């Protein structure tokens, strides 16, 4: 085992770790430690790939709005295919959901990207909806599919161009501190660094404990998804994503198949999340109630962890107890769509360059996402 030296050590090679490391590598010696063989093995590789500026709380919406320009026109050489592909989201309300549906309609504005639709208009967009029991729909035309793999690997390529390193199969097992900084023991050796970035996804709470950092109350929550076959005679690729107004299920075209999720949020310990048969059955039942689709065959199924703290905003900033320990965690169900803005802001915070006044054009202050708010 050798000793490796760097300025900033990033723990976790998912979208959070890759994106912040790419920015930091322009200014410092950066190394990323990822415990799996593949850096996108956990949440980042299991998402539904949605970009929506109307999803999540105020902080998430601000970060998502601020990420659009990067995703719509990434810097030259960042990626080889477009990162966004427009796909409307159709929010449907059914009998028994009048209150939630009325609320959704109140947020819609005629003539804008977010508009209320009649049942017939909704059927025009997604012909398999069952008209009986459908109250109506709200369409959001500003939404898109994200090329997650390309975005993630664009950041990993940028990290490499910046001179940064990535070690896989490199689980961090112990974190110590001496007068010179952090000493991090991993499966591939010992690393010394002045700053640690904790981007360990569902394991961020555990990594924080290893370093003696504050408890942010991180809660990993399992979400299940399955790919099902569309009807043989239907061309479903152009259908919108269909989202239940109370987020009880969603369905979305995905490379010739349909991605289905019961939008579950089961509290789980950090792990290699696996789909639960009951959650898949619930998703199928809700889909078959809302549409004329009959699920005959599941092509594949998976689950992943979406990790939240109590206010559902990300936790990004230096720890309140351990100097030089930086959090980039709790990205919930929004870590992909917020990555461009959040990673740029996080890198500025690490480097001590972030100023709320003037440089927060999207209306978010460092305090809104700081771990200090959770103490």
- Which H or E element spans position 152? helix 148-161
Burial of 119 per CB tally in 10 Å (0-12, 13-18, 19+):
middle
CA pair distance 288, 38, nearest whole angstrom: 36
Stretch that binds ligand FAD, among 133-141, 201-209, 279-287, 364-372 (CB under 6 A): 201-209
| C-beta atoms surrounding 179 within 10 Å | 4
Tokens 């409307």, residue located:
88
Q: Tell me: does residue 340 bind ligand FAD (CB under 6 A).
A: no
Q: Tell me: does residue 220 bind ligand FAD (CB under 6 A).
A: no
Render the burial of 214-236: b for 16+ CB within 10 Å, e for the rest.
Answer: bebebbbbbbbbbbbebeeeeeb
Q: Which of the residues 28 through 87 are near ligand FAD (CB under 6 A)?
A: 33-36, 39, 41-44, 46-50
When binding is defined by CB under 6 A, the residue of 114, 137, 144, 225 that contacts ligand FAD is 225
When binding is defined by CB under 6 A, the residue of 331, 344, 347, 366 that contacts ligand FAD is 331
Beta bridge partners of 232: none
Stretch that binds ligand FAD, among 158-166, 174-182, 330-338, 354-362 (CB under 6 A): 330-338
Stretch that binds ligand FAD, among 27-35, 242-250, 282-290, 318-326 (CB under 6 A): 27-35
Q: Tell me: does residue 165 bind ligand FAD (CB under 6 A).
A: no
Asked whether 61 and 114 are in contact (CB, 8 A), the reply is no
49/129 with CB nearer ligand FAD: 49
CA pair distance 338, 346, nearest whole angstrom: 12
Q: Tell me: does residue 17 bind ligand FAD (CB under 6 A).
A: yes
CA pair distance 16, 38, nearest whole angstrom: 15
Least separation in angstroms between residue 7's CB and ligand FAD is 18
Least separation in angstroms between residue 250's CB and ligand FAD is 9
When binding is defined by CB under 6 A, the residue of 141, 157, 171, 373 that contacts ligand FAD is 171
| C-beta atoms surrounding 99 within 10 Å | 10
Q: Tell me: does residue 207 bind ligand FAD (CB under 6 A).
A: yes
Q: Tell me: does residue 13 bind ligand FAD (CB under 6 A).
A: yes
The DSSP string of 279-327 is HHHHHHHHHHHHBS-----EEEEEEEEEEE-TT-S-EEEE-SSSTTEEE
Q: How many residues bind ligand FAD (CB under 6 A)?
A: 41
Q: What angle do CA 108, 114, 115 make, to 5 degrees?
A: 65
Q: Tell me: does residue 14 bind ligand FAD (CB under 6 A).
A: yes
When binding is defined by CB under 6 A, the residue of 6, 8, 10, 11 that contacts ligand FAD is 11
Q: Tell me: does residue 199 bind ligand FAD (CB under 6 A).
A: yes
When binding is defined by CB under 6 A, the residue of 6, 8, 9, 12 that contacts ligand FAD is 12
Asked whether 348 and 92 are in contact (CB, 8 A), the reply is no
Render the burial of 284-313: b for 16+ CB within 10 Å, e for the rest.
Answer: bebbeebbebebeebeebebbbbbbbeebb
Asked whether 140 and 91 are in contact (CB, 8 A), the reply is yes
Which two structure tokens, joined as six digits, stand for 67? 């990420």
When binding is defined by CB under 6 A, the residue of 15, 105, 211, 349 that contacts ligand FAD is 15
151/293 with CB nearer ligand FAD: 151
Least separation in angstroms between residue 358's CB and ligand FAD is 27
3/37 with CB nearer ligand FAD: 37
Q: Tell me: does residue 371 bind ligand FAD (CB under 6 A).
A: no
When binding is defined by CB under 6 A, the residue of 306, 317, 344, 371 that contacts ligand FAD is 306
Tokens 């105020």, residue located:
58
109/271 with CB nearer ligand FAD: 271
CA pair distance 351, 132, nearest whole angstrom: 57
Residues near ligand FAD (CB under 6 A): 11-17, 33-36, 39, 41-44, 46-50, 171-172, 199-203, 207, 223, 225, 304-306, 331-337
């Amino acid at each position: 085992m050798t000793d490796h030296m760097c300025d900033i050590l990033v723990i976790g090679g998912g979208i959070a770790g890759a994106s912040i490391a790419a920015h930091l590598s322009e200014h410092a010696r950066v190394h990323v430690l990822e415990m799996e063989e593949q850096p996108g093995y956990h949440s980042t590789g299991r998402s539904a790939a949605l970009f929506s500026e109307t999803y999540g709380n105020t902080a998430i919406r601000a970060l998502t709005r601020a990420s659009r320009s990067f995703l719509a026109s990434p810097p030259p050489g960042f990626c080889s295919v477009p990162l966004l592909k427009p796909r409307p989201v159709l929010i449907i309300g059914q009998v028994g959901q009048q209150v939630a549906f009325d609320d959704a309609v109140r947020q819609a504005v005629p003539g804008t990207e977010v508009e209320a639709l009649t049942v017939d208009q909704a059927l025009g967009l997604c012909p398999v909806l069952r008209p009986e029991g459908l109250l109506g729909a709200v369409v959001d035309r500003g939404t898109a599919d994200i090329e997650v793999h390309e975005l993630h690997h664009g950041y990993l390529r940028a990290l490499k161009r910046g001179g940064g390193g990535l070690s896989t199969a490199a689980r961090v097992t112990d974190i110590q501190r001496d007068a010179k900084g952090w000493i991090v023991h991993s499966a591939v050796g010992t690393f010394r660094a002045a700053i640690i970035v904790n981007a360990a996804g569902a394991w961020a709470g555990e990594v924080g404990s290893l370093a003696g950092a504050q408890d942010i109350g991180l809660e990993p929550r399992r979400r299940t998804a399955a790919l099902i076959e569309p009807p043989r005679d239907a061309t479903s690729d152009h259908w919108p994503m269909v989202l239940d107004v109370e987020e009880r299920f969603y369905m979305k075209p995905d490379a010739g198949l349909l991605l289905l999720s019961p939008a579950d949020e089961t509290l789980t310990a950090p792990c290699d999340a696996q789909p639960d048969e009951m959650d898949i059955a619930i998703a199928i039942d809700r889909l078959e109630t809302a549409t004329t689709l009959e699920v005959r065959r599941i092509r594949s199924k998976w689950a992943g962890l979406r990790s939240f703290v109590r206010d559902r905003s990300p936790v990004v900033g230096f720890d309140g107890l351990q100097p030089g320990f930086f959090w980039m965690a709790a990205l919930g169900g929004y870590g992909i769509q917020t990555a461009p803005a959040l990673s740029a802001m996080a890198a500025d915070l690490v480097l001590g360059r972030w100023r709320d006044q003037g440089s927060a054009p999207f209306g978010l202050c460092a305090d809104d996402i700081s771990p200090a708010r959770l103490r």
